[in-house]
Chains A and B, each alone.
Chain A
Amino acid sequence: EDQVTQSPEALRLQEGESSSLNCSYTVSGLRGLFWYRQDPGKGPEFLFTLYSAGEEKEKERLKATLTKKESFLHITAPKPEDSATYLCAGYGSSNTGKLIFGQGTTLQVKP
């Protein structure tokens, strides 16, 4: 069964303290690995799509990487406004459009 697992569940950082969020996946025939940001009470906001192992994408303080078993979201020198829940999702070979979501990592950045 396809599965996506994120760790840690929650992460507290001081402003400027860099860290990484992990997304482990077992998705048959992975075609895309997605990262989203979700603020409380709002819909997820698309961040990145990674298509193949070794691929990296960056946006401001965020950098996403992909291996054959996991993806990392690296946050460099985070600011309080980076506080949110980060969701990882995999798209496999089912041709249904279905994304397999992890439970998310809730990040809190303190000033």
Chain B
Amino acid sequence: DGGITQSPKYLFRKEGQNVTLSCEQNLNHDAMYWYRQDPGQGLRLIYYSQIVNDFQKGDIAEGYSVSREKKESFPLTVTSAQKNPTAFYLCASSPGIRVAYEQYFGPGTRLTVT
């Protein structure tokens, strides 16, 4: 089955610790994205990547970092510099970015930082 996997589903961390969220896709999509979802707000774009070894900041990139070493993988690191890291994080992919392709989402990771 083709799709996007995110792990873990739930993640708990202490303040001051960096944490890495995993995202893998087997859809052979070039583009991958990370969004953050908070209650009462729409999804907000953190980072996106259109090809391997290339990524761009989205609207709320401060306190986050990413890498794209393989086409299938786009991990997100939430650093201690992110002031409000507790949120639901969603990874998505699409065939490309220059056309209005639909984006397919993973199941999400809920991060709680105390």
Contacts and interface: CB of A to CB of B under 8 A. Distances in A.
A45 to B, nearest CB: 8
Interface residues of A, number: 26
Contacts of B99: 31
B103 interface: yes
- Interface centre among B43, B44, B98, by most chain A C-beta atoms within 10 angstroms, is B43
Interface in A44-98: 44-46, 49, 51, 87, 89, 91, 95-98
B100 A32 contact: yes
B52 interface: no
Interface stretch (B13-21, B61-69, B106-114): B106-114
Interface string B59-102: 10000000000000000000000000000001010101111101
Interface string A89-111: 10100011111111110000000
18 contacts: A34-B102, A42-B108, A43-B107, A43-B108, A44-B105, A46-B105, A49-B102, A87-B42, A87-B43, A95-B98, A96-B56, A97-B96, A97-B98, A98-B58, A99-B43, A99-B45, A101-B44, A103-B41
Interface of A: 4, 31-32, 34, 36, 41-46, 49, 51, 87, 89, 91, 95-104
Given A32-B102, A49-B100, A98-B58, 17 more contacts: A31-B99, A32-B100, A36-B105, A41-B108, A43-B92, A43-B106, A46-B102, A46-B104, A95-B98, A96-B56, A96-B97, A97-B97, A98-B59, A99-B45, A101-B42, A101-B43, A101-B44
Interface of B: 4, 6, 31, 33, 40-45, 48, 50, 56, 58-59, 90, 92, 94, 96-100, 102-108, 110
